[in-house]
Amino acid sequence: MDDLLHCDLFIGGEWRPAADGRRMEVVDPATEEPVTRIAQASREDTMAAIEAAAAALPAWRRVPPWDRSAVLRKAATLLADRAEKVARRLTLEVGKPIAQARAEIQATVECIDWYADEARRLYGESLAGRAPGQRFFVVHEPVGVVAAFTAWNFPVVLQARKIAPALAAGCTVVARPAEEGTGAVTEMIRCFVEAGVPPGVLNLLTGLPQEIAETVMDSDLVRKVSFTGSIPIGQHLIRRSADTVKRLSMELGGHAPVIVHEDVDVAEVAAVSAVGKCRNAGQVCVSPTRFFVHRRIKDAFVEHFVAATRRLRLGHGLDPETDVGPLINRRRLEFVEKMVADTVADGGKLLLGGRRPADLNRGFFFEPTVLDEVPDEARAMREEPFGPIALVTGFEDFDEVVARANALPYGLAAYTFTRSMNTAQRTIDALEVGIVGVNTYVAATTEMPFGGVKHSGFGRENGRQGIQDYLNVKFANVVM
């Protein structure tokens, strides 16, 4: 078919097939038709990529920061020029509506451009010593070879959040995106290559994760792993990192609470909540999920929320009229179906959706779903749904709702809506998360740090903090 793209590995400056010739297919989740054929990297390929990155490290870390900056800036410019092509590929591979795919590519351009600047701002320290002729110096140096593992829901920008600061810091990279979204990530990698990243500095491994991840974790040449994905896999990588004492950054799952206080414009908050909940079909780690609404306004909120959600249109992401695309694969579709059934069995009231749409008999579509009066003990209130499922419940007072919002081991993002600055500040202070949105569902922006606490992980991406995880700190005591 015309949309079928072939993707090879990129190792040591060369595009090449897997050593054993294996390939796999990625399907359009809206049609179930193959759209990308990718190489399946083996242990041999992974070792080759690690060794290429290690060999390229000494020269790349000596490249002046202004020169590294220029390479990143050019890569951002090239990606901006190709944004429509890459966005279309992204929609075909992961199903998100084309407007959301364009927004992801724009965010990727901004991320690379931001770290082009940060490459030139790696400030050290100089202090007078304790004796005459003595100086203390603190300098930052690249941590070394970095492995970047990312999820499929935002495949391009998630890789950029790791590749860009790593290269800016002077590290070399072995990137492994999720198999879904590989074609779009490959197009971004081409931009770095054409921008002048030297051979071996940036390597791309594609395919299923098992052989790649285990080889990376075994290698003492890899000094840092940055991972975006599920909590169980993150926990496995943390345990595996112990033998080689790797540096880690972990951006793991979330189950974001939304606290809607009684002083809001109910219709307005409900409308923006419906859109925020169903972005990328709810397959977002910071997706608003547990809606705690003050009892005095809950009935009105639910009425407006259901009406706004019902207006959202399901369809193929390339259709500009589509608001909600498909789930990523059949496993996720079956998971979401079962979670809705379990939540109803646990006492939740199904008000909208909860099933596969009758008029879409191909693809992994699931209707946007609203459940009311969901008990805190219900499965969906305890386990991340990662789908277009909104769980609504009421609350009476501030201390009660904060305790319920904080009750889970997740701590990535949370949201609150209020007209009171005092209430907003109290809520920000009380929530045990890394990100808080007040009167907005925008949880990530290039210039500000992104990451969680508790089981949602550690380390930060974006902002000036994002480059720190790719740097070692060295102290020098100089006596002359």
The beta-carbon contacts of 60-67 under 8 Å, at least 24 apart in sequence, are 60/167, 60/170, 60/171, 60/172, 60/198, 60/201, 61/141, 61/142, 61/170, 61/171, 63/170, 65/119, 65/120, 65/122, 65/168, 65/170, 66/119, 66/120
What type of residue sits at position 32?
Answer: E
Tens of pLDDT, residues 106-147: 999 999 999 999 999 999 999 999 999 999 999 999 999 999
Looking at residue 174, its pLDDT comes to 98
Instruction: Provide the pLDDT confidence category of residue 373 given band limits of 50, 70 and 90.
Output: very high
Structure tokens at 29: 């989740």
Task: Examine the pLDDT at 4 and tell me if it is beyond 70.
Answer: yes
Active site (annotated) includes residue 251: yes
**280-338: pLDDT as tens digits:** 999 999 999 999 999 999 999 999 999 999 999 999 999 999 999 999 999 999 999 99
Split at pLDDT 50, 70, 90, the class of 278 is: very high
Q: What is the pLDDT of residue 14?
A: 98
Q: For residues 177 and 188, what is the distance between their CA atoms, to the nearest angstrom?
A: 12
- Local confidence band at 15 (pLDDT 50, 70, 90 cut-offs): very high
Residue 150 and residue 461: Cα distance in Å, rounded? 13
What is the C-alpha to C-alpha distance for residues 25 and 148, in angstroms, rounded to an integer? 22
Torsion 64-67-68-69 (CA) sign: positive
Tokens of 467: 């480059």
CATH number of the domain located at residue range(s) 256-438 in this protein: 3.40.309.10
Provide the whole-model pTM: 0.96
Q: Could you say which of 118, 179, 251, 461 is catalytic?
A: 251
Token digits of residue 160: 């950029």
Angle between helices 209-218 and 43-62 (to 10 degrees): 50
In the chain, where the domains are located: 5-252+454-479, 256-438
From the candidate CATH numbers 3.40.1230.10, 3.40.190.10, 3.40.50.300, 3.40.605.10, the one assigned to the domain spanning 5-252+454-479: 3.40.605.10
Contact 259, 416 (CB under 8 A): yes
pLDDT value, residue 361: 86
CB of 132 within 8 A of CB of 124? no
CB 245 within 8 A of CB 218: no
pLDDT reported for residue 330: 97
> Which 3 state secondary structure label does DSSP give 441?
coil
- In sequence order, which ranges of 196-312 are alpha helices (DSSP H)? 209-218, 231-240, 266-278, 298-310
The predicted-structure confidence for 100-113, as pLDDT tens digits, reads as follows: 999 999 999 999 99
Q: Which residues pair with 437 in a beta bridge?
A: 415
d(CA 174, CA 320): 35
The predicted-structure confidence for 238-264, as pLDDT tens digits, reads as follows: 999 999 999 999 999 999 999 999 999
The three-state secondary structure class of 52 is helix
Q: Is 229 helix (H, G, I), strand (E, B) or coil?
A: coil
- Average predicted confidence (pLDDT) for the chain: 97
For the chain, helix (H) and strand (E) counts, in that order, are: 14, 21
Closest residue by Cα to residue 24 from 9, 44, 2: 9
- Say if residue 169's pLDDT is above 50: yes
**Active-site hit among 104, 285, 367, 461:** 285
442-455 pLDDT, tens digit each: 999 999 999 999 99
Token reading at 370: 């609203």
As a whole number, mean pLDDT of residues 342-367 equals: 96
CA distance 24 to 19: 14
pLDDT score recorded for residue 3: 76
State the Cα–Cα distance between residues 467 and 69, nearest whole angstrom.
13
Measured CA to CA, the distance from residue 407 to residue 261 in angstroms comes to 19
Tokens linked to 65: 């920061």
Interval 66-105: pLDDT, tens = 999 999 999 999 999 999 999 999 999 999 999 999 999 9
Using pLDDT thresholds of 50, 70 and 90, give the confidence band for residue 1: very low
Instruction: Tell me, yes or no, if the two domains 5-252+454-479 and 256-438 fold the same way.
Output: no
Decide if pLDDT at 397 tops 90. yes
Question: How much is the pLDDT for 2?
Answer: 64
Mean pLDDT, residues 335-354: 97
- What average pLDDT does the segment 401-426 reach? 98
Residue 303: active-site member: no
Q: What are the DSSP calls for 382-414, one per residue?
A: HS---SSEEEEEEE-SHHHHHHHHT-SS--SEE
